[in-house]
């Protein structure tokens, strides 16, 4: 099976074992201010990754469009296409009431990727957007005062 028939990139990802770390996107959003991510606890709007000079080793300002071919975006897109929930692990964020205390990470349950689409960011580059919704029937997310 191939992720991209045109480029013949093999799939080395199991959507059933996907772990999505919202901490990484929050950190990028807060430190660079270039992404329009939103975390409302049960709903997360996440801007994909890529478009930086080296999005794996040293994320920085966006210098080109993102694509769904980037391995991290592709894994979320596959989960969207197949309707397979992903696990969300949150890290601390001062601006998110559903985030854990500073210095900790917390497993916050299963989420479904309900939308995946290309959008324009505030800086004019194309970005991958993902809407994640928490699967019902799970214990509530612990909340803290901001």
The architecture (CATH level 2) of 2-6+14-134 comes to Roll (2.30)
Query: What secondary structure, in 3-state letters, does the chain show?
Result: CEEECCCCEECCCCHHHCEEEHHHHHHHHHHHCCCCCEECCCEEEEECCCCCCECCCECCCCCCCCCCCCHHHHHHHHHHHHCCCEEEEEECCCCCCCCCCCCCEEEEEEEEEEEEEEEECCCCCEEEEEEEEECCCCCCCCCCCC
Could you tell me the mean pLDDT of each successive run of 10 residues in the chain, 146 residues long? 41 38 35 62 88 72 90 89 88 78 85 95 91 94 80
Q: What's residue 117's pLDDT? A: 97
pTM of the entire structure?
0.73
Q: What's residue 61's pLDDT? A: 80
């Amino acid at each position: 099976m191939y992720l991209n028939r045109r480029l013949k990139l093999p799939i080395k990802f199991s959507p059933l074992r996907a772990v999505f770390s919202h901490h990484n996107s929050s950190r990028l959003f807060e430190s660079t201010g270039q992404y329009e991510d939103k975390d409302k606890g049960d709903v997360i709007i996440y801007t994909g990754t890529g478009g930086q000079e080296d999005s794996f080793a040293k994320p920085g300002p966006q210098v080109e469009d993102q694509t769904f071919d980037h391995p991290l975006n592709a894994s979320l897109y596959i989960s969207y296409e197949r309707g397979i929930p992903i696990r969300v692990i949150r890290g601390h964020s001062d601006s998110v009431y559903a985030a854990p205390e500073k210095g900790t990470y917390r497993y916050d349950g299963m989420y479904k990727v309900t939308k995946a689409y290309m959008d324009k960011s505030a800086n004019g580059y194309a970005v991958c957007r993902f809407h994640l919704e928490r699967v019902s029937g799970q214990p509530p997310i612990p909340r803290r005062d901001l």
